[in-house]
């Protein structure tokens, strides 16, 4: 029986989908969670390593593989991507090189390599939280976008249209970065030109550097800022075939530019009158629960394709099956404690809606973008056309009510 190690995090949405795929394919899956060794031992976890401590974590994977040989090491998201590449290289397993995995995680390095390879990317400059923002504000062109080099899901991404807005955005991002990375060390971030246009997400799989597009999602809600909270994904795309083909070529060019050669690819692009622009490309599959909208061949999931490729198993079909599908990542309207959710059954009853899953926990704090990194939940729908799917998702969302109680910080008198 093939055995794979899945590098995941304690709260990942993706682990269950990969576990289901492995079970269906007769593959043993070992879930290794990003956590300190002491805590892993307490919880009897198989690995016991922090993924960002690459050298020590790689040694832990090799020690595990010496006892129980592995056929593949996969990461569910960017957190474990570099470790998966480093461990696979050390074990002689097919995978992207560590340099490529690093470039797919670091947006500054990604932009530099893509620009060098003539991939259409926004004009950018690398800045630092130690810079004088007021001076910097008069050196850049507007509109611009400030963006962290490492975070995902539009976290910390803010548009600015003039110098005062830039100073406010950069200050806000710096505050977030120093909360995430405590200490006095300056943190890098990008300032790049805002690219107008229609945004899409591409899901694909690489084999020997050649990209097979699995699905192209339209994002019908405008993403013009000041924050960039993604909501609706619908596939198949309604863009003309020629434009879709250009998007696929651009994504393959981008993957090649940073050295990605094998495995899943998730790319974000914008399209305007000048063609497609590469915003980001990652050597992983789509996040959250969004992969539930995809099915291939007779009944294969996206995770099954990834596991099959990693283990060298045959793949029946890479063609998307079924009717149009889509997902809404339910946005967080405001910060506070989530007290109550209502209307779920009414939302599920909307024609075309397959399921509604509220993933935010009642009684726990929720934080919207740009500081937050999650959603309230997901709505899934299918229909005869992409327009039908979009209509169903919007109708279901309108049925939901979220009661959020503001958090009142009480001062303490000295």
Domain coordinates of the chain in residue numbers?
Answer: 3-103, 123-193, 323-406
Asked if pLDDT for residue 208 goes beyond 50, the answer is yes
Q: Checking DSSP bridges between strand 28-33 and strand 3-8, what pairing results, if any?
A: parallel
- 3-state DSSP assignment of residue 242: helix
Asked if pLDDT for residue 372 goes beyond 70, the answer is yes
> Do 323-406 and 3-103 have the same topology in CATH?
no
In CATH terms, is domain 3-103 a member of 3.40.190.10?
no
Cα separation, 333 vs 376, in Å, equals: 9
Cα separation, 149 vs 340, in Å, equals: 35
User: Of the ranges 192-196, 250-254, 403-407, which one carries the lowest mean pLDDT score?
Assistant: 403-407
CB atoms within 10 A of CB 44: 7
Beta-carbon contacts of 307 under 8 Å, excluding residues fewer than 6 positions away, are 4, 18, 21, 22, 25, 27, 72, 74, 313
Its sign, for the CA torsion 289, 25, 353, 205, is: positive
Asked if pLDDT for residue 180 goes beyond 80, the answer is yes
The pLDDT of 227-251, averaged and rounded, is 97
Query: What is the reported pLDDT for 164?
Result: 98
Asked if pLDDT for residue 414 goes beyond 60, the answer is no
Query: Diameter of the chain by CA atoms?
Result: 69
Cα-only R_g, the chain? 21
Cα separation, 229 vs 332, in Å, equals: 9
Q: Domain 323-406 in CATH: superfamily?
A: ATP-grasp fold, B domain (3.30.470.20)
The pLDDT of 327-347, averaged and rounded, is 96
Tokens encoding 352:
């075309």
* pLDDT, mean over the chain: 94
The pLDDT of 293-314, averaged and rounded, is 93
Cα separation, 213 vs 98, in Å, equals: 23
The pLDDT of 189-203, averaged and rounded, is 98
The architecture in CATH of the region 123-193 reads 2-Layer Sandwich (3.30)
The pLDDT of 279-284, averaged and rounded, is 95
Cα separation, 64 vs 54, in Å, equals: 15
- Report yes or no: 197 and 274 within 8 Å, Cβ to Cβ: no
Asked if pLDDT for residue 38 goes beyond 60, the answer is yes
Cα separation, 157 vs 152, in Å, equals: 9
Going by pLDDT thresholds of 50, 70 and 90, the confidence category of residue 42 is: low
Query: What is the reported pLDDT for 412?
Result: 46
Asked if pLDDT for residue 90 goes beyond 60, the answer is yes
**What Cα–Cα distance (Å) separates residue 87 from each residue in 48, 83, 156, 171?**
15, 6, 30, 38
Going by pLDDT thresholds of 50, 70 and 90, the confidence category of residue 321 is: confident
Asked if pLDDT for residue 43 goes beyond 70, the answer is no
Query: What is the reported pLDDT for 41?
Result: 67
Cα separation, 127 vs 187, in Å, equals: 9
Cα separation, 227 vs 194, in Å, equals: 12
């Amino acid at each position: 029986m093939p055995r794979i190690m899945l590098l995941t995090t304690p709260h990942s949405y993706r682990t269950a989908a990969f576990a289901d795929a492995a079970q269906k394919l007769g593959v043993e899956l070992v879930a290794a969670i990003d956590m300190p060794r002491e805590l892993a031992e307490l919880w009897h976890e198989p690995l016991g390593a922090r993924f960002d401590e690459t050298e020590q974590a790689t040694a832990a994977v090799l020690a595990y593989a010496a006892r129980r040989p592995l056929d593949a090491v996969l990461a569910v998201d960017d957190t474990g991507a570099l470790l998966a590449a480093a461990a696979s290289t050390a074990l002689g397993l097919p995978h992207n090189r560590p340099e490529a995995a690093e470039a797919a995680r670091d947006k500054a390095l990604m932009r530099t390599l893509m620009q060098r390879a003539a991939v259409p990317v926004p004009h950018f400059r690398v800045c630092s939280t130690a810079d004088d923002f007021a001076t910097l504000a008069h050196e850049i062109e507007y509109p611009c976008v400030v963006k962290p080099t490492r975070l995902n899901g539009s976290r910390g991404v803010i548009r600015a249209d003039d110098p005062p807005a830039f100073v406010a955005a950069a200050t806000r991002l710096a505050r977030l970065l120093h909360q995430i990375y405590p200490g006095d060390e300056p943190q890098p971030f990008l300032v790049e030109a805002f690219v107008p246009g229609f945004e899409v997400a591409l899901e694909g799989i690489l084999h020997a550097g050649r990209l097979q597009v699995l699905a192209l999602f339209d994002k019908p809600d405008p993403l013009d800022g000041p924050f960039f909270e993604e909501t609706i994904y619908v596939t198949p795309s309604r863009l003309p075939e020629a434009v879709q083909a250009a998007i696929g070529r651009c994504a393959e060019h981008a993957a090649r530019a940073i050295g990605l050669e094998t495995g899943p690819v998730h790319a974000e692009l914008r399209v305007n009158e000048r063609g497609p622009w590469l915003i980001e490309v990652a050597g992983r599959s789509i996040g959250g629960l969004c992969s539930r909208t995809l099915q291939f061949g007779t009944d294969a999931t996206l995770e099954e394709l990834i596991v099959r490729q990693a283990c060298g198993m045959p793949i029946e079909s890479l063609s998307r099956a079924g009717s149009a599908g889509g997902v809404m990542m339910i946005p967080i309207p405001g910060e506070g404690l989530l007290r109550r959710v209502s209307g779920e059954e009414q939302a599920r009853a909307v024609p075309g809606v397959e399921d509604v899953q509220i993933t935010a926990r009642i009684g726990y704090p929720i934080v919207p973008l740009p500081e937050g990194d999650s959603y309230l939940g997901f709505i899934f729908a299918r229909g005869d056309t992409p327009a039908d799917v979009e209509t169903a998702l919007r109708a279901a969302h309108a049925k939901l009510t979220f009661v959020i109680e503001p958090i009142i910080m009480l001062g303490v008198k000295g």
